[in-house]
């Protein structure tokens, strides 16, 4: 080889090397994922705090509440508590809302599929965080078990919603699950997993309040964990029912819990967890409406909330925006979509127009004429007053004289007059868990355990008298279901309650009885089933 040949070869090699250097991507506006877990602060911020961004949201089907077509809608507009009537072309939307109300949804429903993706995206991100924490501990020797517990508890929260909505779901703790791990598990196994994770981590979480501004604001703390455990225990019969379309439901007394050194059945477990909430200092607010104020961060009753601050967070709350009549919204300087309202069944439960009308009706709904900020009546475009007609509601209002005005509208949250994004970015924290619910859960567990009893009656009456309603005698399970509707209307629990009570598939106004009970869970997205060749939920 002549020297100059060698020279050219060398230059050639250098050329290729420098070309590869030239082609290397050098991002400036985003960071490699590995750079975000370099110290304890980063670890907390990007490994823990970032996961809470998944609790709320602004895109459709994301967030546990506040957005459209997500967890809350699936839990609310499929029930006898709230309805989205078709109002001419408004809210027709290709039959989506009618389908929810009449339980006619297929396996290609994008809201159902997107909600699944949202829940599993949240779970996967928890898994990624846990994996990175493990690596962090291995490389730096720092103990981050407190963060690990918090993330595991948060992951259990998302698994809880997946279990409740979809029944048979995959359970995995790896950030890269393989095909075996992706195979959906029987419902009782999912239940066991969520229970195990919570029982192990919750006692080690902070005892601080999650809904109060401070170090633990909007985070998983003991209170949130115990509330979730109480929900899990209360619905244990449903969650342990592996073949819900074909076999009888298991008996709650046979579902055994081991909590620390205590062994008890599931009804006793509910009581145990609700007691823990009391011990942590959760109490009823003096006034029902205090929980829903614009600045509701000081509530002693709220347990878990989605933080809202229009200057800071992107979380949105569309429930009020969607419900208000256009002119009503305009009168308070916001926008409205004139949609969802209370069902006939809800009106009956509140005793609307009767001597015994519940005091919470006017705190929960707008009905009849409404006023603007100056106290003047809100007018329709033709100059006549806007009058909401609660009893005129029906599934399809098209061509009805009450097409645009039928239905009692959502009022529960105080109006934030400087809300932005059409009124969807307000400062009221969105209430996910509330102590009044815990009292009612405890009452229900006792009723299911021993039948009508004084403690249950007393617990329910605590909630009733706080609302200014007379105490009931000898509360029954049916009384309790109505009470739950009155106290917890629009809070996203109605589907869960109806399934547990076995009333989800019964006939009610505009909802003919379902031929079977397969709709108590939603179908698993087909694209996911294709991957694992797993069977669809029964009945779909």
Pick out residues in 173-212 that bind other proteins (CB under 8 A).
Answer: 176-179, 182
Burial readout 167-201 (b: 16 or more C-beta within 10 A, e: otherwise) = bbbbbbeeeebeeeeebbbebbbbbebbbebbbeb
The full DSSP string for 325-392 is -HHHHHHTTS------EE-HHHHHHHTTTSTT--TTHHHHEE-EE-B-TTSPBPB-TTSSBPEEBGGG
Contact status: 170 vs other proteins (CB under 8 A): yes
- Give the x/- contact pattern for other proteins in 16-35, rule: CB under 8 A: --xxxxxxxxxxxxxxxxxx
Touching other proteins, residues 312-331 (CB under 8 A): 312-314, 325-327, 330
Q: What is the DSSP string of 451-501?
A: SS-HHHHHHHHHHHHHTT-PPPSS--HHHHHHHHHHHHTTSS-HHHHHHHH
Region binding other proteins by CB under 8 A among candidate stretches 6-14, 340-348, 436-444, 514-522: 6-14
Least distance from other proteins to the Cβ atom of residue 106, Å = 4
DSSP 8-state assignment for residue 316:
-
> Of residues 206, 259, 280, 380, which one binds other proteins by CB under 8 A?
380
In whole angstroms, how close is the CB of 281 to other proteins at the nearest point? 20
Q: How far is the CB of 314 from other proteins (least distance, A)?
A: 5
d(CA 162, CA 67): 17
Among 256, 373, 417, 531, binds other proteins (CB under 8 A): 531
Residues of this chain, 417-476, that bind other proteins according to CB under 8 A: 418, 420-423, 425
Residue found by looking up tokens 């050639």 in the block: 12
Site string for other proteins, 86-105 (x = CB under 8 A): --xxxxxxxxx--x----x-
- Kindly state the smallest distance separating residue 31's Cβ from other proteins, in Å: 5
Structure tokens that stand for 41 in this block = 């602060």
CA atoms of 415 and 292, how far apart (whole Å): 9
User: Rounded to the nearest whole angstrom, what is the least distance from the CB of residue 506 to other proteins in the complex?
Assistant: 22
Residue 108 beta carbon to other proteins: minimum distance, rounded to whole angstroms: 5
Q: Does 167 bind other proteins (CB under 8 A)?
A: no
Instruction: Label the pairing between strands 409-410 and 365-366.
Output: antiparallel
Cβ distance to other proteins smaller for residue 471 or 527 = 527
The answer to whether 51 touches 133, Cβ cutoff 8 Å, is no
Q: Identify residues 45-64 at the interface with other proteins (CB under 8 A).
A: 45-46, 49-50, 52-53
Site for other proteins in 111-130 (CB under 8 A): 111, 114, 116-117, 120-121, 123-125, 128
Q: How far is the CB of 328 from other proteins (least distance, A)?
A: 9
Backbone angles phi, psi at 84, to 5 degrees: -110, 90
Q: Which of 81, 337, 429, 487 binds other proteins (CB under 8 A)?
A: 337
Beta bridge partners of 511: 508
């Amino acid at each position: 080889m002549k020297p100059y040949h060698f020279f050219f070869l060398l230059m050639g090699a250098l050329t290729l090397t420098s070309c590869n250097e030239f082609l290397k991507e050098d991002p400036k506006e985003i960071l490699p994922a590995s750079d975000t877990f370099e110290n304890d602060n980063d670890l907390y911020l990007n490994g823990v705090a970032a996961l809470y961004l998944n609790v709320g949201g602004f895109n459709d089907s994301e967030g546990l509440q506040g957005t459209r077509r997500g967890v809350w809608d699936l839990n609310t507009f499929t029930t006898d508590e709230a309805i989205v009537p078709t109002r001419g072309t408004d809210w027709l939307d290709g039959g989506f809302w009618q389908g929810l109300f009449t339980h006619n949804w297929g396996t290609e429903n994008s809201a159902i599929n997107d909600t699944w993706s949202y829940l599993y995206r949240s779970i996967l991100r928890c898994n990624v965080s846990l994996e990175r924490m493990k690596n962090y501990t291995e490389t730096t020797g720092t103990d981050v078990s407190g963060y690990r517990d918090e993330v595991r508890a948060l992951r259990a929260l998302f698994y809880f919603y997946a279990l409740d909505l979809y029944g048979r779901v995959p359970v995995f703790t790896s950030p890269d699950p393989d095909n075996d791990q992706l195979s959906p598990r029987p419902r009782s196994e999912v239940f066991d997993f969520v229970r195990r994770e919570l029982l192990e981590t919750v006692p080690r979480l902070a005892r601080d309040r999650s809904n109060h501004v401070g170090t633990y604001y909007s985070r998983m703390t003991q209170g949130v964990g115990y509330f979730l455990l109480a929900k899990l225990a209360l619905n244990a019969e449903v969650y342990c029912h592996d073949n819900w379309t074909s076999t009888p439901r298991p008996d709650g007394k046979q579902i055994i819990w081991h909590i620390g050194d205590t062994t008890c059945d599931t009804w006793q477990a509910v009581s145990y967890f609700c007691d823990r909430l009391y011990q942590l200092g959760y109490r009823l607010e003096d006034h029902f409406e205090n929980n829903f104020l614009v600045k509701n961060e000081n509530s002693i009753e709220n347990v878990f909330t989605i933080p809202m601050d229009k200057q800071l967070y992107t979380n949105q709350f569309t429930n009020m925006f969607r419900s208000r009549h256009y002119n009503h919204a305009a009168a308070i300087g916001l926008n409205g979509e004139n949609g969802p309202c209370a069902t006939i069944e809800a009106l009956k439960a509140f005793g609307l127009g009767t001597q015994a009308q519940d005091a919470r009706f006017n705190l929960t709904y707008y009905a009849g004429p409404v006023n603007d900020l100056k106290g003047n009546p809100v007018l329709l475009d033709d100059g006549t007053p806007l009058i909401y007609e609660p009893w005129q509601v029906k599934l399809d209002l098209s061509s009805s004289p009450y097409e645009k005005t039928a239905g009692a509208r959502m009022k529960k949250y105080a109006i934030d007059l400087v809300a932005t994004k059409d009124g969807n970015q307000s400062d009221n924290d969105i209430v996910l868990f509330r102590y009044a619910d815990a009292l009612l859960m405890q009452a229900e567990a006792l009723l299911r355990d021993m039948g009508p009893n004084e403690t249950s009656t007393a617990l329910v009456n605590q909630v009733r008298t706080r609302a200014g309603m007379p105490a009931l005698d000898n509360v029954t399970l049916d009384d309790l279901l109505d009470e739950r509707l009155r106290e917890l209307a629009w809070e996203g629990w109605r589907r869960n309650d109806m399934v547990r009570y076995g009333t989800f598939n019964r006939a009610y106004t505009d909802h003919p009885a379902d031929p079977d009970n397969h709709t108590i869970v939603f179908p698993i997205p087909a694209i996911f089933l294709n991957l694992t060749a797993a069977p669809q939920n029964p009945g779909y």
